[in-house]
Amino acid sequence: MRKNDERGRTLIYLDNAATTWPKPEAVYQAVDQCMRKKGANPGRSGHHMALMAGRIINETRGLIAQLFNIPEPSQVIFTSNATEALNLGIKGLLKPGDHVITGTFEHNSVARPLERMREQGIEVTKLPVSLSQGILPAQVEEAVLSNTRLIILNHASNVTGVINPIREIGKIARDKGIVFMVDAAQSAGTLPIDVQAMEIDLLAFPGHKGLLGPQGTGGLYLRENLSLVPLEEGGTGGNSEFLTQPDLCPDRYESGTLNTPGIAGLGAGINYIFQEGLEIIRRKERMLTEHLLMGLEEIPGVIIYGPPRGMERAPVVSFNITGKEPADVSFLLDKMYDIAARPGLHCAPDAHRTLGTFKHGTVRLSFGYFNTMEEVDQCLAAISAIAGE
Amino acid sequence: MRKNDERGRTLIYLDNAATTWPKPEAVYQAVDQCMRKKGANPGRSGHHMALMAGRIINETRGLIAQLFNIPEPSQVIFTSNATEALNLGIKGLLKPGDHVITGTFEHNSVARPLERMREQGIEVTKLPVSLSQGILPAQVEEAVLSNTRLIILNHASNVTGVINPIREIGKIARDKGIVFMVDAAQSAGTLPIDVQAMEIDLLAFPGHKGLLGPQGTGGLYLRENLSLVPLEEGGTGGNSEFLTQPDLCPDRYESGTLNTPGIAGLGAGINYIFQEGLEIIRRKERMLTEHLLMGLEEIPGVIIYGPPRGMERAPVVSFNITGKEPADVSFLLDKMYDIAARPGLHCAPDAHRTLGTFKHGTVRLSFGYFNTMEEVDQCLAAISAIAGE
């Protein structure tokens, strides 16, 4: 796996929670071959190349369904990223007077659409998050009101990696007839997800993180018999004669030309996950995370935020060095050691209010399948040197 | 320019109004190199590779501004296609009680969002379209009401290629203080566009058609001092501490991770247009269109829909063969002659009501810069053979 940037320098890329890099070679190939050989418009026209493009879309839809145990692939809606999927789910479902339960560790892609809906007469309850256990099911149960329409939570925090007890909360939602939406931005392709066993009604996921696809891809799983107001109307290929959107999923929610090359790459990314095995990927990312945490604990002046070592988590670690700005630490890691980290709030300001790290945030290191133990060691040596300065 | 599909067969691709194919080699290379060498998240983090990704975004923004004579590149908003740009402009601008003027030749990506807004208390006037001249400026002037907030029209019809007199209508809009939005789906990269000279306030364009970029790209130009309600809220990289979207353009409208590889390819596509010269491209596409029209006129049983030969138009030709279904003609062109055409309503049902071709539609042939006169001749021979059967 080559990890050279455009300067030809060997990077230690630890910003996989933003976008995974590098991608499997098959992903690059799939994008390129799609553009060169199958570059027509999917679901429009009827000529051979348009049908080939349409087949790519369907194949990737099928792979996503398989990965998340979605009973019907046509319930997978392609979006340009997880943010669009979250906006579609939130705005398409909620009506004035509805109540929503969420947490304080949500990304702005959940918090901001909810804030917008609040202005339109939606009531929002934000539950505090336990650093080691996430949102407790009992808290959720207590927060339910007669008008609670939606429970929306991330599967894992993008700041601390803490995992929410999705299965238990899904059961509560199902028992009470509340729609359950999960933001899988940090878990899709990294942690096992089963929308049926977890009672998930709406699952928003990016294509360019754990699923190893290109940027510009993502999607929303929508449980059958649940209908949303589309975020966008437009050409849907079929049913062109009507002035309103078709009822059919996914057509109803996929107006305009899809990102076929991106979706081809996403399919190759998911195929790679199937080949390697999600459990193998998860174990490797876990091992890297544990190794980093162990090393960080031994560096004087380092403060780690998040679940204690040994607990299940997403491969995301937030830390600070006493007396140093996260932005400065991240800058030095990049400049002196060619280590790509991310400093700041990570688009989740509420989480930092809880952690006491508002408003400079933390330094975040996040792993992907292509990181190595040697890279973790080099990173620990670099952090140790910066902390000792 | 290789034009083989994945079967290795040489295609005559005449579906460029849906998506242009093939792309310049530089487009394929730009996408690939972006993913392999600059695959980080633009506008997030501060490490070298993230900055490189951010630079790609800015470069393409600058190229778009240059092409359309947009005074300030930051007023270019990236979207995943023209449909998203149109939805953002329409829904972000209009409030209940507003009146909109549009035409009967609009694509569903305009007609359907307007229909949705009509349900929310927006009044819509649809002007009839002259087959040779498009919407007449006098019609627009007459249709203006005291509450007219928006005039929205395509630059050129995707069914007949007829061009609307954008400059004259822009002047009317400016004089009357009405926002003027143009759907450049069939003109961006094909006809000259100057948002200042044409008094365009909002310009929606796809990246994957005349601009020669990959699918999954598009954008919206928004005049300075005009603010829209965003279609989506979410992470914007900067200003993470606020629960509401930043006011700054483009951040306000670009939540979530952009399609960086796609935007890299789009930049390469626009660079290619600058290298070749828009005027050269326009003239070649015009010549191909005229050659096709001349040939079609001589085939007995062929009916052509749209402006007469010799008039300025987009490189789109709709026709039928008396007594034959458009879908059958298109099928034969593909199956017997490896010619990719598109039959049907082309997502513009109202246009076909005017043409008298509702609801089977027409066969559409649409040219790109990489088509040749020989291909037109082969296509004419094929249509002649089908018409003679």
For residue range A220-244, what is the model confidence (pLDDT) as tens digits?
A: 999 999 999 999 999 987 788 888 9
Contact A341, A363 (CB under 8 A): yes
CATH hierarchy code of domain B12-16+278-388: 3.90.1150.10
**A119 vs A111: CA distance, rounded Å:** 13
Chain A residue closest in CA terms to B88: A232
Q: Cβ of A136 under 8 Å from any chain B Cβ?
A: no
Q: Note whether B340 contacts A87, CB cutoff 8 Å.
A: no
Chain B residues touching A355 at Cβ < 8 A: none
Q: Which amino acid is at B48?
A: H
Nearest to B5 among A37, A235, A242 (CB): A37
Q: Cβ of A236 under 8 Å from any chain B Cβ?
A: yes
Q: Note whether B232 contacts A87, CB cutoff 8 Å.
A: yes
Distances (CA, A) of B269 to A162, B29, B274: 43, 11, 9
Question: Rg (Cα) of chain B, in Å, rounded?
Answer: 21
**A354 vs A345: CA distance, rounded Å:** 12
Say what the pLDDT of residue A6 is. 82
- Residue with more model confidence, A358 or A284: A284
Q: Alpha helices, DSSP H only, in chain A?
A: 25-37, 48-67, 82-93, 108-118, 137-143, 166-176, 260-276, 278-297, 326-337, 349-355, 373-388
What SS3 state is found at A111? helix
Strands A302-305 and A316-321: antiparallel
**B208 vs B313: CA distance, rounded Å:** 20
Q: Note whether A5 contacts B208, CB cutoff 8 Å.
A: no
Q: Note whether A330 contacts B46, CB cutoff 8 Å.
A: yes
Q: Cβ of A353 under 8 Å from any chain B Cβ?
A: no
Q: Cβ of A41 under 8 Å from any chain B Cβ?
A: yes
Provide the Cα torsion A220, A363, B247, B188; round to 10°: -60
Mean pLDDT to the nearest integer, B65-80: 98
- Nearest-Cα distance to chain A for B175, in Å, is 30
Say what the pLDDT of residue A43 is. 80
Nearest to A35 among B40, B82, B214 (CB): B214
Superfamily of domain A12-16+277-388: Aspartate Aminotransferase, domain 1 (3.90.1150.10)
Q: Cβ of B225 under 8 Å from any chain A Cβ?
A: no
What phi and psi, each to the nearest 5 degrees, are found at residue B89?
A: -65, -50
Q: Which amino acid is at A324?
A: K
Is pLDDT above 70 for A369? yes
A:B CB pairs within 8 Å: 335
Question: What burial class does residue A217 get, using C-beta atoms within 10 Å of its C-beta: 0-12 exposed, 13-18 middle, 19+ buried?
Answer: buried
Chain A residue closest in CA terms to B48: A334
Nearest to B251 by CA among B41, B75, B39: B75
Say what the pLDDT of residue A66 is. 98
Mutation for testing the B interface, residue in A112, A211, A328, A334 having most B CBs under 10 Å: A112
Q: Note whether A256 contacts B330, CB cutoff 8 Å.
A: no
What SS3 state is found at A7? coil
Please write the tens of the pLDDT for every residue from B322-370: 999 999 999 999 999 999 999 999 999 989 999 999 889 999 999 999 9
Please write the tens of the pLDDT for every residue from B93-137: 999 999 999 999 999 999 999 999 999 999 999 999 998 999 999
Say what the pLDDT of residue A45 is. 75
In the numeric block, the tokens 């006809």 are attached to B191
Chain A residues touching B237 at Cβ < 8 A: 347
Q: Cβ of A200 under 8 Å from any chain B Cβ?
A: no
Q: Note whether B80 contacts A80, CB cutoff 8 Å.
A: yes
Question: What burial class does residue A274 get, using C-beta atoms within 10 Å of its C-beta: 0-12 exposed, 13-18 middle, 19+ buried?
Answer: exposed
What SS3 state is found at B76? strand
Q: Cβ of A52 under 8 Å from any chain B Cβ?
A: yes
Contact A107, A99 (CB under 8 A): no
Question: Rg (Cα) of chain A, in Å, rounded?
Answer: 21
Chain B residue closest in CA terms to A5: B37
Question: What burial class does residue A96 get, using C-beta atoms within 10 Å of its C-beta: 0-12 exposed, 13-18 middle, 19+ buried?
Answer: exposed
Nearest to A260 by CA among B370, B29, B76, B213: B213
Two structure tokens written together for B285:
């596409």
In the numeric block, the tokens 């240059």 are attached to B66
Chain A residues touching B347 at Cβ < 8 A: 234-237, 240
**A44 vs B63: CA distance, rounded Å:** 29
Is pLDDT above 70 for B44? yes
Say what the pLDDT of residue B45 is. 75
Mutation for testing the B interface, residue in A1, A12, A19 having most B CBs under 10 Å: A19
What phi and psi, each to the nearest 5 degrees, are found at residue B185?
A: -55, -40
Q: Note whether A83 contacts B256, CB cutoff 8 Å.
A: yes
Please write the tens of the pLDDT for every residue from A9-47: 889 999 999 999 999 999 999 999 999 999 999 987 789
Who's near B5: CB < 8 A, 6+ residues apart?
A37, A38, A48, A49, A52, B11
What phi and psi, each to the nearest 5 degrees, are found at residue A156?
A: -140, 145
Average pLDDT, chain B: 96
- DSSP secondary structure code for residue A77 in this structure: E
Mutation for testing the A interface, residue in B16, B34, B35 having most A CBs under 10 Å: B35
Chain B residue closest in CA terms to A119: B244
- Nearest-Cα distance to chain B for A201, in Å, is 21
**B203 vs B209: CA distance, rounded Å:** 15
Q: Where are the domains of chain B?
A: 12-16+278-388, 25-275
Nearest to B156 by CA among B178, B116, B189, B197: B189
**B251 vs B260: CA distance, rounded Å:** 15
Q: Note whether A48 contacts B260, CB cutoff 8 Å.
A: no
DSSP per position, A249-306: TTGGG--S---HHHHHHHHHHHHHHHHH-HHHHHHHHHHHHHHHHHHHHTSTTEEEES
Chain A residues touching B7 at Cβ < 8 A: 48
Distances (CA, A) of A20 to A227, B6, B38, B40, B363: 32, 29, 11, 8, 43
Q: Cβ of B241 under 8 Å from any chain A Cβ?
A: yes
Mutual orientation of helices A260-276 and A25-37 as an angle, nearest 10°? 150
Nearest to B32 among A28, A256, A345 (CB): A28
Chain A residue closest in CA terms to B5: A37
The order of strands in the sheet holding B362-366 is B302-305, B316-321, B362-366, B342-344
What SS3 state is found at A4? strand
- Nearest-Cα distance to chain A for B274, in Å, is 22
Q: Cβ of B243 under 8 Å from any chain A Cβ?
A: yes
**B275 vs B27: CA distance, rounded Å:** 13
Mutation for testing the A interface, residue in B347, B366, B370 having most A CBs under 10 Å: B347
Q: Note whether B216 contacts A240, CB cutoff 8 Å.
A: no
**A165 vs A167: CA distance, rounded Å:** 6
- Nearest-Cα distance to chain B for A311, in Å, is 27
Q: Alpha helices, DSSP H only, in B79-157?
A: 82-93, 108-119, 137-143
Whether ipTM tops 0.95, in short, is: yes
Question: What burial class does residue A361 get, using C-beta atoms within 10 Å of its C-beta: 0-12 exposed, 13-18 middle, 19+ buried?
Answer: buried
Q: What's the whole-model pTM score?
A: 0.98
Q: Note whether A82 contacts B256, CB cutoff 8 Å.
A: yes
Distances (CA, A) of B73 to A206, B76, B224: 28, 6, 10
- Winning range, highest mean pLDDT, from A204-208, B6-10, B127-131, B238-242: A204-208
Q: What percent of chain A has pLDDT over 70?
A: 99
Q: Cβ of A233 under 8 Å from any chain B Cβ?
A: yes
Please write the tens of the pLDDT for every residue from A120-177: 999 999 999 998 999 999 999 999 999 999 999 999 999 999 999 999 999 999 999 9
SS3 content of chain B, % helix, strand, coil (to 5): 40, 15, 45
Say what the pLDDT of residue B1 is. 66
Contact B191, B314 (CB under 8 A): yes
Point out the residues of A that are catalytic.
Answer: 347
Is B347 a known active-site residue? yes
Say what the pLDDT of residue A275 is. 98
Length of chain B: 389
Please write the tens of the pLDDT for every residue from A73-93: 999 999 999 999 999 999 999
In the numeric block, the tokens 């369904």 are attached to A65
Say what the pLDDT of residue A1 is. 66
Length of chain A: 389
Q: Cβ of B107 under 8 Å from any chain A Cβ?
A: yes
Is pLDDT above 70 for A250? yes
Is pLDDT above 80 for B2? no
Strand-pairing partners, residue B339, are: B12
Mean pLDDT to the nearest integer, A288-314: 97
A320-341: b (≥16 Cβ within 10 Å) or e:
bbeebebeebbbbbbeebbbbb
> Count of CB atoms within 10 A of residue B141's CB?
15
For B:155-174, CB contacts with A below 8 A are none
Nearest to B257 among A19, A113, A236 (CB): A19
In the numeric block, the tokens 């935007």 are attached to B263
Q: Note whether B243 contacts A4, CB cutoff 8 Å.
A: no
Q: Note whether B340 contacts A206, CB cutoff 8 Å.
A: no
Q: Cβ of B84 under 8 Å from any chain A Cβ?
A: yes
CATH hierarchy code of domain B25-275: 3.40.640.10
Q: Note whether B358 contacts A241, CB cutoff 8 Å.
A: yes
Say what the pLDDT of residue B238 is. 77
Helices (H) and strands (E) in chain B, counts: 11, 13
Nearest to B15 among A4, A40, A244 (CB): A40
Q: How many CA atoms lie within 13 A of A344 on its CB side?
A: 20
